[in-house]
Structure 1
Amino acid sequence: MESVLLLSALLLLLPPVLSARAAPAARVMWPGLEERLFPQVRDHFSFETCGNETFPQRYLVSAKFWKKGFGPIFFYTGNEGDIWTFAQNSDFIFELAEEQQALVIFAEHRYYGKSLPFGIESTQLKKTALLTVEQALADYAVLITELKQQFGAADCPVIAFGGSYGGMLSAYLRMKYPNVVAGALAASAPLLSVAGLGDPTQFFRDVTADFQKSSLGCVTAVRKAFQQIKDLCLSGAYDEISSKMATCNKISNKEDVYQLFGFARNAFTMMAMMNYPYKTDFMGDLPANPVKVCTEINLTFNSNNVTDMFPEMPFTEAMREQYCWNKWRVRPRAHWLRTNFWGEDLKSASNIIFSNGDLDPWAGGGINSSLSPSLIALTIKGGAHHLDLRGHNPADPPSVTEVRKLEAKIISSWVKSAGMEQVQEQRVGAAAGSQP
């Protein structure tokens, strides 16, 4: 049972990573960042369900660097969590705002943080129907439009920013509301894999590859440990599993074992995603280079077979469908993202940067090749999950520094182009108005 003990030791190195999402760290007031609420429409697409009822949507705003009325607006499309968490881990946006004199806005995603359409009842089954990508994008489009009026920024171009699911939203916002946003930086955005395109086994295979690169023995030991735990489960040796894995509560059935497998896999997944060259408290307290730290335990097994190291944790389409039905009483619409958000047919879009780090297991499900001169794919060598959105750090790999410089240059060109288009439109309008 040496492998089980090694797995337990590996996980004990980084206990906070086992939680689905750590609580936000103590809030630092980023440059002039203020928390505000906006009366957002509950349902943008039907008057029958909620009429014109609203809910308080939270957003954060900083005008510290803004050239009032002229500088661009940098808008972060919040994803699945407290908006402060993302603001505190996206310093690049503030650094770029200082350079380009931008107004900064971080918008919280409906149903997360304090942005609850039905208050504490929002997660009840009959209250979750309004938790959709379409509603979230409409929230952002409405919020941007209203805030531009409030700030006297009607002519200020808007650039959307986002990471992971938030990166998908920033790309979708540019695609669906090009009249509202002039461009988007979609960092670590798995648009293809989430739409059901590509290899469904890619993600956990790439998590495995991250550990394989650091230590051949780690992958073999983890795979062997999962098998040993499964064997103990089949023989009903739940007490032995509890003892060797040092669980807080005793394992007593197959469902408990499956949950243990899930916690273990999540831990390795988080380490791969957050494999930054410096310590972070984003989504869990992690040391610098957590994959390396994890694999430095003396492991003596060897293997050259880079396959999923979690064979006891399959997650097929049928299993996902069953989970969604059991949990939320909904069934996934397999092809809807390809239809409504274009899937891989993105060539008619424009002004989107797709950035991915080669250490990030989500990268294989994203856009990794430029599709046109204005649909640009950037790869960060030695970069983990949306590393480019994080602020400058002395430990950064040179590649992310270069990518940030290129992103800044591209975004500046979008802002200037949007400004020139507005001037041209005003001239055309003035000329038309002067005609007899």
Structure 2
Amino acid sequence: MEKFGAYIITTCLLICFTVYIEAYVPRMIRGRPRGGLLGAPGHKHHRKNLETRELPPDQWYTQKLDHFNGADGRYWQQRYFTNDTFYKPGGPLFVQIGGEGTADPIWMLEGAWIDYAQRYNAYCVQLEHRFYGKSHPTPDLSVDNLKYLSSEQALADLAAFITDLKSKQTFSSVITFGGSYPGSLSAWFRLKYPHLVQGAVASSAPLLAIVNFTAYLQVVDDALRSVVPSGACNDAVSTATSTISTDLTTLEGRQKLKKVFQLCDDIDPNIKTDISNLYSTLAGNFEGVVQYNKDNRAFEGAKATNITIDTLCGIMTDPSLGDPLQRYAEVNALLLKAYSQDCQDFKYDKMLDSMRATSWNSSASEGGRQWTYQTCTEFAFYQSSDATNQPFGHDFPIDFWTQQCADIFGASFNNTVIETAVKRSNTDYGALGIQITRVLFPNGSIDPWHALGVLEDLNPEARAIFINGTAHCANMYPSTPEDPPQLVTARKEISDTIGQWLRS
């Protein structure tokens, strides 16, 4: 215990000075962009306002390492933020649940939930998810330590934290908020700890764990067609993909691909995983843009927020830019520039090297390694190319994704383990058949993750809010004059429903 306590003190002194060792981690990996599935809130209309306000400081909660082993007496320091600006005695407690990335204190000043807090005089807290951001429960990210990373432990963290907070202050009710994976946590917390939370907003929450998430690329395909109904955008992507397949068969073709796509390395056609990774990376250019299309994340640190589906399809359907392959390469060049990358990595072994790193100062520790572990042990969610109706080819099939679990974490993480983990998660939480009340499930039609979410009311007190034309977690971001009417209506419904919960 003394050694572990000394580790905590050392970690708390050092984490503020951590510098990540750069290595190859894809911008989009398993549907997760670097930094986590939920981006920082903010918009050009809010920038000036935020620059004049101080972000809340880091605070630390002493948390149990293993909530399910009474004999384990180890503890660690979990980061959280508070904002009592709008709170009035006897008001509710609003809890923003952290997820698979660094908890951003900007959420304590911005976002739709802050508008709700102002309306209902709520005390706001945000708890960072264990193993992400600065919340380091263990000395490193070895497999032995990652066994303490799970949604169940995270829910128990929330329960302990909220219970302790309520013992020190009186709140009329507790409402939880979360987007994407934290959206699922918000619903599951209401399911597992109904005595601690009176209502939950579960935005863009994937409640169905699934190994082969083929619907992801099908929604991307639909999103492209929503911009160009003729299908010309999709057809151009499909033609470019076919051209890549042909060019890969000759040395001259491979040299051309390296040049036009600004690849960091030569292509070896005998390394199948490199080829799969190349196809997946190029598809990822479209996946990321579709997933966050026209959201309000344009704030310091958020990149490429001005690149939309319209931008990509505008390029793919512009014959002045060359043939479809050249246009596909132009999209890649646009994203490389937006993210300040000199070249496009695709080497599978380079990705494995980075994802195998167990140090807290490795590039994968920003969340890539941890989220991959959670997909291997709980949810899978693998966006394979096995769907028929999508234009990105079929060269990153489900086996490419499941093999990564064994390649990164060890041979014991095989297909049977993954399938068993997914089955257990769905059994534990109820998947789309979850029996729950006083929960809202907002989802956007453009968001590929909506395919795993609740799209129809489960009962009168567990309602779906389906927002046509919006992307991932769009309802959570600050409002802007450009918001479509259906998004404005959704936010009002959420706000009014919270009021009903608080009055009942």
TM-score normalised to the size of structure 1?
A: 0.81
Displacement of 1:31 in angstroms is 7.2
User: Could you tell me which of 161, 168, 171 is aligned with 1:143?
Assistant: 161
Shift of the alpha carbon at 1:395?
A: 0.7
Q: What is the CA-CA distance between 1:89 and the residue it aligns to?
A: 9.4
Q: Is the 8 A contact 1:242 1:251 kept in 2?
A: yes
Q: Which residue is equivalent to 2:404?
A: 323
Name the aligned partner's letter for residue 219 of structure 2: D
Match of 2:236 in 1: 221
- Give me the whole-angstrom Cα distance separating, in 1, the residues matched to 2:249 and 2:109: 43
**Mean alpha-carbon deviation: is it higher for 282-291 or for 95-104?**
282-291
Any conservation in 1 of the 2:83–2:108 contact (CA below 8 Å)?
no
Distance 1:171 1:291 in 2: 30
**Which string of whole-angstrom CA distances, capped at 9 and with x for unpartnered residues, describes residues 167-210 of structure 1?**
00100000000011111100011212x256xx842111101111
Match in the other structure for 1:340: 428
The reply on whether 1:84 has 2:104 as its aligned counterpart is: yes
Deviates more, 1:140-149 or 1:231-240: 231-240
Say yes or no: does 1:127 pair with 2:134: no
Q: Which position in structure 2 is the counterpart of 1:105?
A: 125
Matched, 1:406 2:493: yes
Aligned to 2:281: 263
Is the contact between residue 174 and residue 182 of structure 1 (CA under 8 Å) also seen in structure 2?
Answer: yes
- Structure 2 residue 70 is matched with structure 1 residue 43: no
Give the match for residue 235 of structure 1. 250
Letter in 1 for 2:65: R
Q: 1:178 aligns with which of 181, 186, 194?
A: 194
Match of 1:204 among 208, 211, 217: 217
Residue 314 (structure 1) aligned with residue 337 (structure 2): no
Report the identity percentage. Answer: 27
Q: Which amino acid aligns with 1:327?
A: I
Q: Structure 1's 313 and 103: CA in aligned 2 closer, same or farther, altered over 3 A?
A: farther
Distance 2:232 2:463 in 1: 38
C-alpha change, 1:88 and 1:272, in structure 2 (3 Å) is farther
**What are the superposed Cα offsets for residues 244-278 of structure 1, whole Å, 9 maximum, x if unpaired?**
21224443453433322222222211101111166
Q: Which amino acid aligns with 2:248?
A: C
Letter aligned with residue 73 of structure 1 = L
Closer/same/farther in 2, CA of residues 131 and 313 from structure 1, 3 Å limit: farther
1:166 alignment partner, one of 182, 191, 195: 182
Q: CA deviation at 1:18?
A: 6.0
- Does residue 359 of structure 1 match 2:446? yes
Offset of 1:379 from its aligned partner?
1.2
AA of the residue aligned to 2:471: A
1:83–1:107: 8 Å Cα contact kept in structure 2? yes
Kept after mapping to 2: 8 A contact 1:232/1:238: yes
Counterpart position of 1:12: none
Structure 2: distance between partners of 1:180 and 1:28: 35
Residues 97 and 186, structure 2, Cα contact 8 Å, conserved in 1: yes
DSSP 3-state at the match of 2:457:
coil
- Cα deviation, residue 337, structure 1: 1.7
* Structure 1 range deviating more: 385-394 or 307-316: 307-316
CA distance in 2, matches of 1:83, 1:306: 37
CA distance in 2, matches of 1:105, 1:137: 15
Query: Is the contact made by 2:55 and 2:109 (CA closer than 8 Å) also made in structure 1?
Result: no
CA deviations 1:10-49 (Å, max 9, x no partner) are xxxxxx966841598799686763321111111111145x
Which amino acid in the other structure matches residue 409 of structure 2?
Answer: W
Q: Distance in 2 between matches of 1:366 and 1:56?
A: 33
Structure-1 separation of matches of 2:394 and 2:76 = 43
Write the distance in 2 (CA, Å) between the matches of 1:227 and 1:180. Answer: 54
1:89, 1:390 within 8 Å by CA — same for their partners in 2? no
Counterpart of 1:98 in structure 2: which amino acid?
Q
Using the TM superposition, give the Cα deviation of residue 281 of structure 1 relative to its aligned residue in structure 2, in angstroms: 5.1
User: Which structure 2 residues correspond to residues 281-296 of structure 1 after superposition, within 5 A?
Assistant: 284-288=302-306, 290-296=308-314
CA contact (8 A) 1:205 1:309 kept: no
Letter in 1 for 2:125: I
CA contact (8 A) 1:203 1:365 kept: no
The structure that has the greater radius of gyration is 1
Paired residues of 1:378 and 1:403 also in contact (CA < 8 A): yes
Q: Which one of 54, 64, 68 corresponds to residue 75 of structure 2?
A: 54
Q: Identify the range of structure 1 (107-116 vs 227-236) with the bigger mean alpha-carbon deviation.
A: 227-236
1:139-172 deviation digits (Å, cap 9, x = unpaired): 111111112223x12x431101000111001000
Question: Counterpart of 1:246 in 2: which secondary structure?
Answer: coil
SS of alignment partner, residue 493 of structure 2: helix
Residues of 2 paired with 1:102 and 1:131: CA distance? 30
Number of residues of Structure 1 aligned to a counterpart in Structure 2: 388
| Superposed displacement of residue 214, structure 1 | 1.5
Alignment gaps of 5+ in structure 2: 1-25, 41-46, 325-386
RMSD, aligned α-carbons: 2.9
Residues 75 and 88 of structure 1, relative CA distance in 2, 3 Å threshold: closer
Unaligned runs of 5+ in 1: 1-15, 418-436
Deviation, structure 1 residue 127: 1.2
**Could you say what secondary structure the match of 2:101 adopts?**
coil
